[in-house]
Amino acid sequence: MNFLSFLGENLQVFWTYTGFANVTVGHGIMILVGLLFIYLAIAKEFEPMLLIPIGFGILIGNIPFKDAGLQLGIYEQGSVLNILYQGVTSGWYPPLIFLGIGAMTDFSALISNPKLMLIGAAAQFGIFGAYTLALTMGFEPNQAGAIGIIGGADGPTAIFLSSKLAPNLMGAIAISAYSYMALVPVIQPPIMRLLTNKKERLIRMKPPRVVSQTEKILFPVFGLLLTCFLVPSGLPLLGMLFFGNLLKESGVTRRLAETARGPLIDTITILLGITVGASTQATQFLTKDSILIFVLGAISFIIATTAGVLFVKFFNIFLKKDNKINPLIGNAGVSAVPDSARISQIVGLEYDPTNYLLMHAMGPNVAGVIGSAVAAGVLLGFLG
């Protein structure tokens, strides 16, 4: 073999290792999806903290390569991405995210008007609406439970539950949950307008009372004891959520609270986003099930929003005139903190520029986080 043919053969071998030689239509589609996520995050500012890592993760996960045992892909044991992905598969990223959420959430709106908690419960109908539909579409009960949790509009909860109930569907479920969370400003307002009349949209709610420090400290303690005694399977999420909140409200662990809501949650968000994105390798992701999951995800968001708004209207029947709740905050029960609360504010201001609903909407919004974690615990208990 002369030197030139040796070089030629080497180049030929090299070519087989390149992405160009291994690319498929599926890779192309997924790369376009990743680019779309990045575009939506930068140009439209839809959940950029999530969509940028996930979008870029999709690009990373869909660089085609020859399976030559080089430990490159996220599904190859021992690869760097695989090691980082273990936080998702074994379910320890989501509780750490919840720790940060707890440390940054102010539950004052909920404590000052605790009846708003029930809106957060009502919106969980989205989860079980999607569960029922998924069963009729032929999914197994455990898969249906994992898909249904998309309606909780809570990414970490969706990842946590799907990693336990249906690990093979986790990529599609996570992407679907985060996509629809980013699309909350598109999905919710038409439903809110459709289900309310002008008079209801103009309801002014009583300003929340000032909540004492003691009440704020008692909230995570009682919250943990009550919810976890009822649903121990929700412990990883609820335990960390309330622990983070106690760090914030105790007033004596400022450094810990700042770490939890700052560097820790940022680090985990980066790792979670990039690995969930990378887990969407075209070969694993582009299936009929993924498409069905996206359809069910959209339906679950619609049901959740509808249930939240209708529940407020129903609740108002029993409330005194000066205690009525503006049904435009019903959508906030679907969690997706704080976007859905922000939507309540924006839609409310369209009809009365002096009616600020944000603080009121934060009540059902954070109740939705608790409600979806409880619902996840129930599903895990029954189907895990």
Partner 1 sequence: MKRLTGIGLLLLFCAVWTTNAQRTTSLKINEVLVINEDNFMDDYGKKYPWIEIYNSSPGTVNVAGCFLTNDINQPKMYMVPKGDVLTKISPNQHVLFWADNKATRGTFHLNFTLDSLKPNFIALFDSDGRTLIDSITVPAGQQADISYGLIEDGWDQKRLEEELRLNSGYIEKKGDKLWIYFEKVTPSSNNKILETNEKIDNFKENDSTGVGMTLTAMGVVFVGLLLLYLIFKLIGRIAVGLTHRRVMKTAGVTKEQAKGISEQSGDVYAAIAMAIYEATELHDEENTILTIKNAARHYSPWSSKIYTLREAPKR
**Binding residues vs partner 1 (CB under 8 A):** 110-112, 114-115, 117-118, 120-122, 124-125, 127-129, 131-132, 135-136, 140-142, 144-145, 207-212, 214-215, 218-219, 222-223, 226-227, 230-231, 367, 370-371, 374-375, 378-379, 382-384
CB 20 to partner 1: min, Å: 40
Cα separation values, 317 from 118, 187, 311, 325, 363, Å = 15, 27, 10, 10, 20
Least CB distance to partner 1 at residue 316 (A): 16
Shortest Å, Cβ 311 to partner 1: 10
Which CB atom, from 27 or from 216, has the smaller least distance to partner 1?
Answer: 216
Q: Which is nearer to partner 1, 49 or 226 (CB)?
A: 226
Residue 44: burial class (beta carbons within 10 Å; 0-12, 13-18, 19+) = middle
**Which one, 183 or 362, has the nearer CB to partner 1?**
362
Is the bond preceding residue 338 a cis peptide, omega within 30 degrees? yes
CB distance 88 to 159 below 8 Å: yes
DSSP letter, residue 14: H
Least distance between partner 1 and beta carbon 234 (Å): 9
Helices (H) and strands (E) in the chain, counts: 22, 0
Q: Which is nearer to partner 1, 8 or 232 (CB)?
A: 232
CB of 269 to partner 1, least distance (A): 21
- The residue among 125 and 160 lying less far from partner 1, judged by its C-beta, is 125
Least Å distance, CB 8 to partner 1, is 49
For 47-52, which contacts have Cβ atoms below 8 Å and span 24 or more sequence positions?
47/178, 47/181, 47/182, 47/339, 49/269, 49/273, 50/155, 50/178, 50/181, 50/182, 50/269, 50/273, 51/178, 51/182, 52/273
The tokens for 336 are: 């997706």
- Cβ proximity to partner 1: between 27 and 248 the closer is 248
C-alpha to C-alpha distances, 201 to 69, 146, 309, 319, 343, nearest whole angstrom = 60, 34, 11, 16, 13
**Residue 50 and residue 274 in contact, taking contact as beta carbons nearer than 8 Å:** no
Shortest Cβ distance from residue 233 to partner 1 (Å)? 11
Maximum distance among all alpha carbons in the chain? 94
337 touches 365 (CB < 8 A)? yes
Give 74 or 121: the residue with its C-beta nearer to partner 1: 121
